[in-house]
Amino acid sequence: MLLAGVSVADSYLQFMTVLILFVFVLGITYAVTRWIAGYQKNKAICSNLEVVETMRIAGNKYVQIVRAGGKYLVIAVGKDEVHMLSELTEEELIFSQNQTGNIDFGSILDKFKKQKEND
Q: How confident is the model at residue 18 (pLDDT cuts 50, 70, 90)?
A: very high
- Give me the chain's average pLDDT, please: 85
Q: 104 pLDDT band (50/70/90 cuts)?
A: confident
Measure the CA–CA gap between 114 and 85, rounded to whole angstroms: 42
With a cut of 70, say whether residue 66 has pLDDT above it.
Answer: yes
Torsion of CA 73, 76, 77, 78, to 10 degrees: -170
Q: What is the per-residue pLDDT for 1?
A: 45
Q: In this predicted model, which residue has the larger pLDDT, 84 or 108?
A: 84
pLDDT tens profile 37-63: 888 877 766 678 888 899 999 889 999
With 60 as the cut, is the pLDDT of residue 2 above it?
Answer: no
Lowest-confidence segment of 22-26, 93-97, 110-114 by average pLDDT = 93-97
Residue 46 pLDDT: 64
